Structure 1
Amino acid sequence: MALERLQTLRGMVDLLPRQTMVWQQVEEQARHHFHRAGVREIRTPLLEATALFARGIGEATDVVCKEMYSFQDRGQRSCTLRPEGTASVVRAAIQHGLLNQGHQRLWYMGPMFRYERPQAGRQRQFHQLGLELLGVAEERSDVDAMAMAWDLLGDLGIQGLQLQLNTLGTPEDRRCYREQLVGWLEQRVQQLDPDSRQRLATNPLRILDSKNNTTQDLLREAPQLLTTLGKESRERFEGVCQLLQALDIPFVITPQLVRGLDYYTHTAFEITSDQLGAQATVCGGGRYDGLAAILGGPPTAGMGWAMGIERLVLLLGSQKDATPPQVVLLNRGESAQVRALVLARQLRQAKLHVELDLSGATFARQFRRADRLGGRLAVIIGEQEAQAGVVKLKWLHHPPQSGSDLDMGEEWTLPAAEVSKTVERLLAD
């Protein structure tokens, strides 16, 4: 009986070499971007104590109630594959005393896990890169964080962006507003969708973020948090808006943009792209001044955001061509194959991008493959060249504009000992 062919689990996706090129572009751009901004990378475990996320995300949230990959380990401890990055970063900062060393500017990147319905740009194993600024409470840090997100997306060439902005005020502002909102919604409970009715008792602010169109139509008449803010919160939000204007970053105030847990304060934002359809959000974040204390640390201001790398890759296009090799090393015959292996290593040690043809096919087929790869310069070794101690060179694509010893389409023979220096010089022209 034939064995069943094994495949990935639903929502777990292989990244094939062509797609990985785009991922590497995003990762490299992020590293350069954060380095220029004085932000240091932190790496936390994939597996954490379940209690970290129950506290750090909230026991009443869908993530904790329905979506986490949790299990008992052999020591009967409840463990969870991390569903997001912020709680782990704050936990690490507390555990290792980083909060006692002044404010921290940290970034992370890696896989997260949520058991939800897979769709374009959203899988059960997904990847995020994120920023966390710890220990600074001023509105300037809010704008600094948002500007880094905006500029990174710009550096990546993402188009059709919009920054949506709101303020959650202080816990006291939200308590007063929650009472008004709950009272207003209880009089209209039959008009709410089932999920929003459940949230009315557990986390009413999240109703504002409902994706149900009927509920959103109803909410247009609901009380607004902005009208219940205290003087200090209003002035802070005005300061954030003025700083964004000073940086020439356009934004839209969006009252429905909320974070439902009490440790979130003041600024909340999302950056969307009009090229993603229903899953428009590419970055989301906000201020979470109460989180460190909830996780057992000292009261610490915090501001951060996360981007989904899958969605960035969708925007950038997963069919981006690989970088073509500078040199394609064509070879045929027993002695030639050995010589080609040695030469390929020498050229790679000279920091050149070299593709060694290992097929043993005819030179005609090797040339066709080299052309498809987009290789710039062919180095050719057959048995005759190997025995004579020479190689042949031939431009395939993009010869130098002038000053080259070798014209396009022309083959040039030279001693094998001179190949490495000659190729370096030709490609440097």
Structure 2
Amino acid sequence: MFIDKARIFVKSGKGGNGAVAFRKEKYVPAGGPAGGDGGNGGNVVFEVDEGLRTLMDFRYKTKYNAENGEDGKKKRMHGKSVEDLVLKVPPGTLIRDEETNLIIADLRKHGDRAIVAKGGAGGRGNTHFTTAIRQAPSFAEAGKAAQERWIILELKMIADVGLVGFPNVGKSTFLSVVTKAKPKIANYHFTTIKPNLGVVQTKFGDSFVLADIPGLIEGAHEGIGLGHAFLRHVERTKVLIHIVDISGIEGRDPIEDFDKINEELKLYNDKLTTRSQIVVANKMDIPESRENYEKFKEEIEKRGYKVFGMSAATRDGIDDVINYAATIVKETEDIELVSEAEMLKEEDVKPKKEEIEITNEGGVFVIEGKSLQRLLYSVNFEDMESVQYFQKIMDKKGVFQRLKNMGAQDGDTVRLYDLEFEYYE
């Protein structure tokens, strides 16, 4: 099954906690601190694998968690930093942050990588907290928190040339003739329900990648029919080969068809109107086609397009089309899909200054804040030096001043998560 869009949740690994430990050797009765640092948590990384062609792997599994870093150990032994969680995606995958709708990465070629959730750094062991006064700190640092987010994966296939046109105009037949691709071909609409890729080689030695993309109908830019499933995959192409059924045997007017397709392209993404477009009148082997072709060619070439007559069934005119397409591909620069304004920047994801919330719940002052929650891990409340460290950090963050401003009196109860203590100035 071809899947070209997926919504998944990713979470990096939390950093391991630093350890509180002391040297305990036979002839060193009062050994110093020996707590090791925690290991770093794993990043969540996306990497391009050129062997993949679909986002099928993300259809049923939608949540991915990297491992947490290992906690520090005694004897100054550091916890293990874990390996990254690497998720493989096909070339042409766009990764978008769901909350901001900005693009994290555009992964185009084999081996391209992007970190979408950075693992937390490991906490420092108690060896880092010694001072001239504090010789044996009985506290350490908690590991940094993990990052998490919902992201959108969009596959926009890598092809130099895209085939566009109404259903059943001969795009799949054309692809099968000029490449070794074997698309499904039949005389009914929407035979192609997924993009097909093939490599075209001209007699002059030039080559390019050609994509046959599901046929368009009116309203495709709004997702009607195969809508976005079609339009997403023409965004990277340098050149469009617009195939029209010139025979008119289905009762449609070739010029109207041409105009409708271009209108859908414009409504979906105005940038598509700037692509080089080669117009091909197909099914020239049908007797009624010649008269229609002359009228069509005169009108379309007046608009500045190059028009070719062709029969994909008999191969007549095909070489002219692919040779001309190869020339245009060589002359056209690669398409950059993402502008600077659309990219997710560091300041967009940088944690905002933490809000420490203090509320009065029936005479009990309740304090909440992630950094304070981490601080609780660091403190040994049976050790005076550790308690002094706790008070210093609370004072530095302005917690005591805020309690005073809120009317806290000596002896009032203060709750910080699982810890309760009495307030005194």
Structure showing the higher helix proportion among its residues: 1
Give the greater-gyration-radius structure (CA): 2
Higher relative contact order (CA closer than 8 Å, sequence separation 6+):
1
Compute the TM-score of the two structures, normalised by the length of structure 2. Answer: 0.29
Q: TM-score if structure 1 supplies the norm length? A: 0.28
